[in-house]
Chain A
Amino acid sequence: MAKGIKVIACQVMEKEIISIVGRESNATFVQYEYHDKPELLHNRIQEAIECSTDYQCIILGFGLCGGAIDGILAMTCPVIIPKIDDCIPLLLGSRERYEQEKKIESGTYFLNQGWIEYGNDALKDFYKWREMYGERKALWLINEIYKAYTRVAFINSGFEDKNRYLCYAGEVANFLNVKLDVLSGNLGFIRQLLNLEWDNDNYIKLEPGQKAERCMFRP
């Protein structure tokens, strides 16, 4: 008897997903740190798929993510993947909205609660690099690596404890000496995905035995 739906997603949207499917759901969250190494992320996701037998279908909460999804193989049940390059459209509600925000300001660094909790940002980089190289080199690195950034955008998914995170996003913006914008998050895209409402071409469906390919993500 099939167990229903399994969700495998990035930690970065853990809270958004739990808010829709509930804590008791069959959801596995993959650690953010694989973000830097798409090959490792690929292996983690494939392993999670292989461990998920007896489901009706598996939904991935990832974009192509630097190629991590390329070659992902559906095993015993279909695998559904949103047709996006990275997770930001899921947080903003659509690809169009993401494009729009990048047109408004190409040098935008996006943060939501999950990125702040688990992911990376300039302040965390600074503290890590200060340990490794000392203050002067750490600051030099920050200047070098974040020089093209002109704003930090906090995506507000409307959770109760948001203020703490908003405050932190402000600290990051302050540190980089750029402005902070608050963008309203939109869970519509994630909700559609989780509710199996794929009436448009926003999703890729892999049948058992089928592999994901990069070109499937092209618009």
Chain B
Amino acid sequence: MKKDEVLLNLQNAVVLANFEDALSWTGYGLKEGIPPFELITEGLSKGMINVGKKYEDGDYYVTDMILSSGAMNEALTILLPFLKKRKSKYLGKVVLGSVTDDIHDIGKNIVATMLIGVGFDVYDLGVNVSKEEFINKAIEVQADIVGASAFMSSTYLYQLDIKKALDEAGLTPKVKYIIGGGAVYRQWAREIGADGFANDALEAVNLCKSFVSAKGV
């Protein structure tokens, strides 16, 4: 089977959220000698971009998108160890989390999956993440980008606390700080001096890419 066909099958497995196919086409691709990185960026990730579009257009429910990203993550569990072993090039390191008191995470998880899909190293701290946890992780892994999600009007003020803590720890401006989530707006990002904001996962990916390419990684 041609490489393009395998990659297309992988895309479809993600679009249709077929966990088994995502795994088996990944295995097949590896056996055929397709580089793991390509299986991710040209296969899985392209599928996920499609899914995002379908969601934007109203053809997919949120749950469709979550299932698709689940299928992609399943395949990533096989692929990521390869990348780590070979120390392959990655675009940069991103620390992500939902802020204190916020236990919503659907949007954040999709951003995480998409970032991994284009070649970022993502450290997802989960939900209800304190500013100290963000800072400590950013220092520990020497993050390029820190991203904070807030989904509630009762929690988004914590995004400002994180910005202050990043400043105090001397991490900015080297570390870029980006924010997102249903409760926040571009204007808020400007107000708190964040380096960026994105409305959806694709925009988040482009945003992160813009930082690292500007840096020349």
Binding site for B on A (CB under 8 A): 64, 66-67, 85-86, 102, 106-107, 129, 132-133, 137, 140-141, 144-145, 148-149, 214, 217-218
Contact = CB atoms under 8 A, between A and B. Distances in A.
B17 interface: yes
B202 interface: no
Contact of A137 (B17, B128, B153, B154): B17
A149 B128 CA distance: 12
Interface of B: 17, 63, 66-67, 70, 101, 103, 105-106, 126-128, 152-154, 157, 182-183
Nearest to A133: B67
Contacts of B182: 66
A142 to B, nearest CB: 10
Contacts of A149: 103
A66 B153 contact: yes
A129 B66 CA distance: 12
A40 to B, nearest CB: 13
B70 A144 contact: yes
Contacts of A217: 153
A106 B70 contact: no
A148 B106 contact: no
B152 A107 contact: no
A145 B107 CA distance: 11
B206 to A, nearest CB: 24
A102 B17 contact: no
B152 A129 contact: no
A218 B103 CA distance: 20
B153 A145 contact: no
Given A66-B182, A106-B103, A148-B105, A214 B67 contact: no
B106 A66 contact: no
A106 B154 contact: no
B128 A106 contact: yes
Nearest to B127: A148
A140 B182 CA distance: 24
Contacts of A64: 153
B146 to A, nearest CB: 21
Contacts of B106: 145
Contacts of A106: 101, 103, 128
A67 B184 CA distance: 10
A107 B67 contact: no
A85 B127 CA distance: 19
- Sort A-B residue pairs by CB-CB distance and give the 4 closest, nearest first: A85-B154, A148-B103, A85-B153, A64-B153
Contacts of B103: 106-107, 148-149
Nearest to A146: B103
A81 to B, nearest CB: 13
A107 B98 CA distance: 13
Contact of B66 (A102, A144, A218): A144
A107 B104 CA distance: 10
